[in-house]
Chains A and B, each alone.
Chain A
Amino acid sequence: MHEYSIVASLVDRVEHEVRARGASVVHRLHVRVGELSGVEIDLLETAYETFSPTTVCAGATLEVERVAARWGCPRCRRELVAGEGLRCPDCGKPGRLSQGDEIVLQRIEMEVA
């Protein structure tokens, strides 16, 4: 279950930012998780609830936005529909993932004295 490793990276990143900005309390974290990122949101939330109380993130809410996978043709720019093959039906070019594989820390809301 690599979601614990992801939460460890998340906490490290927040700790770094808290130190750099002299923040006192972290209120909320905004994270974006792609459908094809290999991270399960339920497991990520469980890992966060388990791991965060002893860290700088104690008491901070984790807001996770799920990002759907989108495939497009790099030549025609048309969107490809998952489940109908990942090649462009017009030109035959292999599709390219335009979103949905990201695991991104977007924003931290924290108290700055």
Chain B
Amino acid sequence: MCDTCGCGDPEVVPVEIQESLLADNDRRAEHNREHFRRHGVTAINLMGSPGCGKTALLEATARAWAGAGRLAAVSGDLATDNDAERLTAAGIASRSITTGTACHLDARLVHRALHHVDLDGVDLFFIENVGNLVCPAIYDLGQTANVVALSMTEGEDKPLKYPVMFQRADLVLLTKTDLEPHLPGVSRDTVIENLAQVMPEPRWLALSAVTGEGMDGWLGWLGWLAELTGTRPAQASSPSPSEAPEAVAAG
């Protein structure tokens, strides 16, 4: 009630909020993170364009990782279960998150999927995000690290066009290096220079899921991260890129 003149009109008041519009997602992500921590699981949020090779990378990871530990995954897909089926066939216990028209995974969707995933004994848990270089970048899912796959066929300027995505990557994987001989207009050096324009501490690995080039470095990074998660559970959610193993190149 207006108490200035006693007119009886309602009063317009400013109410200070000062809260992130992602606060609800971030709370749920922290819950997921606690869930992963309790199970000693290292969770990777794998992002990248549609067709950049995320699923092929995970299939190759399963082949190379065989016997070294248990892998599990959830795959975000707008309309099919194809990716989860491919991962299951490759030996990764997988589940689809069908997002319908949603262009990204959020912490709530991942949490719901986690109710159906047995994390006991799992060492590495991959969250294969919806193929998209824009929307997934801003949603914390509770992951240990963000990994962005960028295929050589996508061109050199993707980091400049999608700075938010690359800025939030703990590691960038340059995939499909086996196709480089067929891409005379694409220079790996230029891609790396562009990464340094948007990432203060660019960390990258070049690899091919087809030839196996670079897979050792990727497995080394995963092993390093898993050790970090297991031995230092109170560590901040993201690993420090400056501590990355030597196989990972700094731009």
A: residues with CB less than 8 A from B are: 1-2, 5-6, 9-10, 12-13, 17, 21, 24-25, 27, 31, 36-39, 71, 83, 85-87, 94-97, 101-113
How many residues belonging to B are interface residues under a CB distance threshold of 8 Å? 35
Residue from B11, B199, B200 in contact with A112 in the complex, judged by beta carbons closer than 8 Å: B11
How far is it, in angstroms, between the C-alpha of A106 and the C-alpha of B15 when the chains are bound? 9
B17 at the interface (CB under 8 A from A): yes
Residue from B15, B25, B104 in contact with A110 in the complex, judged by beta carbons closer than 8 Å: B15
Q: In the complex the two chains form, is A103's CB within 8 Å of B22's CB?
A: yes
Within the complex, the shortest CB–CB distance from A70 to chain B, in Å, comes to: 13
B103 at the interface (CB under 8 A from A): yes
Q: In the complex the two chains form, is A112's CB within 8 Å of B18's CB?
A: no
- The B interface is mostly helix, strand or loop, or mixed, namely mixed
What residues of A have a CB within 8 angstroms of the CB of B236 in the complex?
A: none
How far is it, in angstroms, between the C-alpha of A8 and the C-alpha of B10 when the chains are bound? 27
B68 at the interface (CB under 8 A from A): no
What residues of B have a CB within 8 angstroms of the CB of A6 in the complex?
A: 21-22
What residues of A have a CB within 8 angstroms of the CB of B106 in the complex?
A: 5
A-B residue pairs, 6 tightest by C-beta: A94-B200, A38-B138, A2-B135, A86-B200, A111-B10, A38-B164
B246 at the interface (CB under 8 A from A): no
What residues of B have a CB within 8 angstroms of the CB of A110 in the complex?
A: 12-13, 15
> Quick one: which of B102, B103, B164, B198 has the most chain A CB within 10 A?
B164
Q: In the complex the two chains form, is B10's CB within 8 Å of A103's CB?
A: no
B167 at the interface (CB under 8 A from A): yes
Q: In the complex the two chains form, is B134's CB within 8 Å of A38's CB?
A: yes
What residues of B have a CB within 8 angstroms of the CB of A107 in the complex?
A: 14-18
B178 at the interface (CB under 8 A from A): no
> Quick one: which of A9, A17, A24 has the most chain B CB within 10 A?
A9
B1 at the interface (CB under 8 A from A): yes
How far is it, in angstroms, between the C-alpha of A14 and the C-alpha of B66 when the chains are bound? 50
Question: 4 additional contacts, CB 8 Å, given A2-B135, A10-B21, A25-B10?
Answer: A9-B22, A86-B200, A95-B200, A103-B138
Q: In the complex the two chains form, is B12's CB within 8 Å of A109's CB?
A: yes
Q: In the complex the two chains form, is A2's CB within 8 Å of B17's CB?
A: no
Residue from A1, A2, A104 in contact with B138 in the complex, judged by beta carbons closer than 8 Å: A2
Residue from B14, B24, B201 in contact with A12 in the complex, judged by beta carbons closer than 8 Å: B24
Q: In the complex the two chains form, is A86's CB within 8 Å of B138's CB?
A: no
Within the complex, the shortest CB–CB distance from B171 to chain A, in Å, comes to: 15
Closest chain A residue, CB of each to CB of B160: A83
Within the complex, the shortest CB–CB distance from B244 to chain A, in Å, comes to: 13
Q: In the complex the two chains form, is A105's CB within 8 Å of B17's CB?
A: yes
Closest chain B residue, CB of each to CB of A17: B15
